[in-house]
Amino acid sequence: MDVRQDRDPHGRRTLAQALVALVVAVVWLGAAALLWRTEVPQLSLPDLDPRSYFTEAEIERSEDYRRGSRALFLGGLAAELLVLAALVWQARPLAARVGRIVGGRVRRAVLLGAAVVVTLWGVGLPFSAATHVRRVDHGLSEQGWGGWLRDQAVSLGVRAVLVGIAVAGAVWLAARLGRRWWLAGAPALVAVATVVVLAQPLVISPLFNRFEPLTDRALAAEIEELAAGMGVDVEDVLVADASRRTTTANAYVSGIGPTRRVVLYDTLLDGRFTRGEIVSVSAHELAHVGERHLWKGLAWFALLAVPGVALLAWLTERWGGLRDPALVPLGLAFVVVYMLATQPLANAVSRRYEAEADWLALQATGDPESAVELERRFVTTSLSDPTPPAWVTYWLGTHPPPLERIAMAATAGGTRPAPGGS
C-alpha cells in the first residue's frame, strides 16, 4: 500500500480542522472586540488620596470588615474545592448508591448532581453563617437567623433546579449525540440562560423580596423624565424591601424585553441619601438599560459558554463520556474551575460596563457632586474598601474601585469635587 495515498486525506482533514479553528477564533475575537467597546472616552483619571474623602476611622473600619470577609470567602472556596475533589474521586461508589435509589440515566444524573449541590452548600454553610454574624456585628444586617436560614434554603433550591436542568440536558444530549453533543448543548445552554434572565424578575426575585411601585410620585416623575432624556424606555421603577436582610443601599436593573425593570432598595430611600444621590444612582441603572448591558452580558456568556461546553465534552470523553452519570461530579468540578478561570475576564467586562454606566449617568445628570457623595456614602454604609488590593479588583471586582469612580466624577465635572471626608 502507498502510505502517501493514506496520508493525503488525513492531511486535508487536519488542514480543514485548522482552518475551521482559525475562522472560529477570528469570529470570537471580533465579537469580543465589538462587545468591549463603550462610550467612555480616553480619560486621564487623577490619583486620589482616600484620606481626602474618608476619615481614618472610616477607612480602618472598612479594611477590618473586608479583611475578615475575604478570609471567610477564601476559606469557604478552599473547603468547597477540596470536597468537590473528594466527590470526583468517589464518584463511582456514589453513582452506584444513587443507582439503587432511582433508575434511568437522566434521573440518576440529576440526583447525583443534586447530591453534589447539597453537599457543597452544606460545606459552605458555616462560612456563610460566620459572614452573617460579621454583617450583624458591623451593622450591615438586622436579619434574624430564621430569615437567614430561609434565604439559604431558597438559594439552595434555586441552585439545585438550575443545575438539575443543566445536568439533565447535557446527559440526555451526550447519550443521543455522542462526543459532539456540545454542538447542540452550547446553544441550548445560552437559550436557557436567556430564559432565566427573562424570567428572573417574575420568578426568582419574588422568592427573596417584595416589590412595590415607587410611592414618591415626584421622585418617580423625575426618574421618568431622566429616562426620557436618556432615550430609555422603562415601564417600572420598583422598590424592593431589602431592609428585611440588609442595611446597605443599592439599585439594579433586571430582566430583558417585557420583564425589564429598575429596582431601588428601600434602604436607599430611608433618608440617608439625598435626592441628587438617588437620581444619580437611578441614572446609572438607566444607562445600563440604554446600553443594553444585560443583552451584552448574555452575548459574553455565549462567548464563554461555547468553548466551555466544548472543553467539558472533551474532558468527559477522556473518561467515557458524559452519557455516564458517574461523570456528573467531574463535569460540575470542571464548571467550577472554568468559572474561576474565566472570572477575571467576566469581571473586567463588568467593570467596563459599570464605568460606562457611571459616565453616561454623569452626562445625563450633570451633577458630579452628587455622584461623589453617593459613592462616599456607599462606602461608609456598606463598608466597601475605597482602595481594594489589586488582586481583589482583578479577581473579585465587578465594579471599579470607589476612588476610581470618584475620580471619574471629578473628570466629568471638569474640576476636583470637594471631598466629603476629613
Q: Is residue 420 part of a domain?
A: no
Q: Are strands 261-265 and 237-240 parallel, antiparallel or unpaired?
A: parallel
Of 227-236, 252-261, 335-344, which one has max mean pLDDT? Answer: 335-344
Rounded to whole angstroms, how far apart are CA atoms 167 and 183? 16
What average pLDDT does the structure give for the chain? 92
Partners of 253 in the β-ladder: 262
Q: Is 347's pLDDT higher than 60?
A: yes
Q: Which among 135, 185, 127, 206 is positioned nearest to 313, based on CA atoms?
A: 185
Q: Residue with C-alpha cell 452544606?
A: 122
Q: Is 9's pLDDT higher than 70?
A: no
Full domain range(s) for residue 342: 53-211+282-413
The DSSP secondary-structure symbol of 273 reads S
Q: Is residue 221 part of a domain?
A: no
Q: Which among 307, 313, 332 is positioned nearest to 162, based on CA atoms?
A: 332
Q: Is residue 41 part of a domain?
A: no
Q: Is 264's pLDDT higher than 80?
A: yes
- Grid cell at residue 144: 434574624
Its pTM stands at: 0.91
Q: Is residue 69 part of a domain?
A: yes
Q: Is residue 131 part of a domain?
A: yes
pLDDT tens, position by position, 186-232: 999 999 999 999 999 999 999 999 999 999 999 999 999 999 999 99
Q: Which among 126, 137, 14, 11 is positioned nearest to 64, based on CA atoms?
A: 137
pLDDT tens, position by position, 292-327: 999 999 999 999 999 999 999 999 999 999 999 999
Q: Is 1's pLDDT higher than 50?
A: no
Rounded to whole angstroms, how far apart are CA atoms 350 and 400? 9
Identify the three-state secondary structure at position 391.
helix
Q: Is residue 184 part of a domain?
A: yes
Q: At 240, phi and psi to the nearest 5?
A: -100, 145
Q: Is residue 251 part of a domain?
A: no
pLDDT tens, position by position, 10-67: 677 687 777 877 888 899 999 999 999 999 998 888 889 999 999 999 999 999 999 9
Q: Is 418's pLDDT higher than 50?
A: no
Partners of 240 in the β-ladder: 211, 265
Domain count, the chain: 1
Q: What percent of the chain has pLDDT over 90?
A: 84
Identify the three-state secondary structure at position 261.
strand
